[in-house]
Chains A and B, each alone.
Chain A
Amino acid sequence: MLGINKEIKQMENMSTESIETKKAEDQKIAAPKIEIEAENLNFFYGEKQALYSINLKVPEKSITAFIGPSGCGKSTFLRSINRMNDIIAGVRVEGKILLNNQNIYAPSIDVVDLRRRVGMVFQKSTPFPKSIFDNVAYGIKINRLSNSRKQLEQMVEQALKQAALWNEVKDRLNESALALSGGQQQRLCIARTLAVMPEVILMDEPCSALDPIATEKIEELVVELREKYTVIIVTHNMQQASRVSDYTAFFLLGQLIEFDETEKIFTYPKEKKTEDYITGRFG
């Protein structure tokens, strides 16, 4: 066990180092700033260990995909980043996750504020039983991000525009959000998350409940988000991961097997297990 971890760590360090060397050699771009870093993260559901010694550095303003077969721990790890797992009874975390060099598991951290800074979009779209406008405005009001009605309206409009939903709903902002289609609801959830101006956006299989056309729209949206936000997307769909992401992390049975630029993972993976998964030999 320890031996494997050491090897993974070495490979890990090698791959991040190689990214950094490559970019430093370019001399045009500096080494990417790391937004999220997991240090020796171990995660337990009661007695059962779900994550084994995860070490990962996610660069800022990029899209990282987490791939792996069912039950490999990618969703668990994703939910650890905004501490959503805290609401489950009996979970235990060892190790650190650093957000901009701040350990989010330190006792002094305000979890509520953390969750504003690290937003999450879920597999099944969950519009609140309110109007479209109120859905997007909810987060803004809760976090007291706006000072006037006019500012609130502007922020809502901006969020809906960023989520590519504005044109479809601008004439019916006061209608119930539950009347929207599945794809529209998911974009509404994204708008809701964007409205609170997070630094990181976590997406847990956001397209798995959607038809291909809605999926395409969401993927286009995600690619645009890269400019301002650090995005991590968990996906079962490997083609989606290769289409959309800059970096990919492959998980298996609670361990991080490989993390590298997406192009490298999908063309010259270093680990055999990665290659097996990508070519469909299991999963």
Chain B
Amino acid sequence: MRKLINKLIFTICSLSTALVLAVLALILIYILANGVLAINLDFFTKLPKPVGEDGGGMVNGIVGSAIMVGLAALVSIPISIGAAIYLAEFGKGYLAVIVRFLVDVLAGVPSIVIGIFVYTIVVLPMKRFSAIAGALSLAIIMIPTIVRATEEALRLVPQTLREAALALGAPYWRVVLEIVVVSANKAIVSGVLLSVARVTGETAPLLFTALGNRFLVTVLDRPMASLPVQIYSYAVSPYDDWHRQAWAATFALVMFILLINLVVRFFIRTKE
């Protein structure tokens, strides 16, 4: 009887796992099937053609995403690591508890709300949509992930390592920056890369901040195209060729995210 229950539970768990894997596999296969045929060199090099014409590519979306994600990373990484260092090294009182709680709350705020927030404080005063606003909204989304990952990594550094550095006559700030953070290097970089992978696919906040652009621009105070927003606008359009291109973009995006995840795994595995 016990054996039967064991087998039953085991079977249920296995079926659940299979279901989860099936869902993921279906999504990937569907994207692969539709996207791999649609993707070509034009996708990476050409600009969108006028409405109604076939052909063209999404180089403006790719470049736009790259610029905005890059800018977001530039802004969010120092702020997040600084906050994480505070929480891990000096955060023992009430203030730290509150900060940690607020960071967790920020992690749960829907990205569209963040988009609307940045719309209110940047787009309205500037009276235009801009890449800066887009980058800012992405940065805000990146912050909680990086703070959490970095704080965890710093906490895992053994206290004896800090003491050993202090015992040599090093001031505390040097111990933190040169020994503790360096020690937690790999975990911090992994956290940052995963955060980048996630935020590359965010669409909603960009709708309210960077809007989108059919042309390739690199100035920061004008609307800028991004891959996810272009996928959206092409997918809801009535043109078949645009649907094809949306599939190509989806495929490219998913491959990029997959690639980053693989790089992170590989990076962690080579840790001593």
Contacts and interface: CB of A to CB of B under 8 A. Distances in A.
Interface of A: 82, 84, 87, 89, 112-117, 119-120, 122-124, 126, 128-130, 138-139, 142-143, 176, 178-179, 189, 192-193, 196
Given A122-B163, A128-B179, A138-B178, 18 more contacts: A82-B167, A89-B92, A112-B169, A112-B170, A113-B169, A114-B169, A116-B168, A117-B169, A120-B164, A120-B167, A122-B160, A126-B158, A126-B161, A128-B164, A129-B179, A129-B182, A178-B272, A189-B164
A143 B169 contact: yes
B169 A115 contact: yes
24 contacts: A84-B163, A84-B166, A112-B170, A116-B168, A116-B169, A117-B169, A119-B168, A120-B164, A122-B160, A122-B163, A122-B167, A126-B161, A128-B182, A129-B182, A129-B185, A138-B170, A139-B170, A142-B168, A142-B169, A142-B174, A143-B168, A179-B272, A193-B167, A196-B168
A115 B179 CA distance: 17
B171 interface: yes
B183 interface: yes
B165 interface: yes
Given A122-B160, A126-B160, A129-B182, A193 B166 contact: no
B182 A193 contact: no
A179 B168 CA distance: 22
Interface string B181-192: 011010000000
Most chain A CB within 10 A, of B165, B174, B182, is at: B165
A73 B246 CA distance: 70
A130 B164 CA distance: 14
Nearest to A139: B168
B97 to A, nearest CB: 15
Contacts of B164: 120, 122, 126, 128, 189, 192
Most chain B CB within 10 A, of A115, A119, A179, is at: A115
A83 to B, nearest CB: 9
B159 to A, nearest CB: 9
A119 B167 contact: yes
Nearest to A178: B272
Given A89-B92, A129-B182, A129-B185, A115 B161 contact: no
Contacts of A114: 169
Nearest to B182: A129
A31 B46 CA distance: 90
Interface in B79-121: 92
Contacts of A122: 160, 163-164, 167
A232 to B, nearest CB: 13
Nearest to B168: A139
Contacts of A178: 272
B172 to A, nearest CB: 8
B272 A139 contact: no
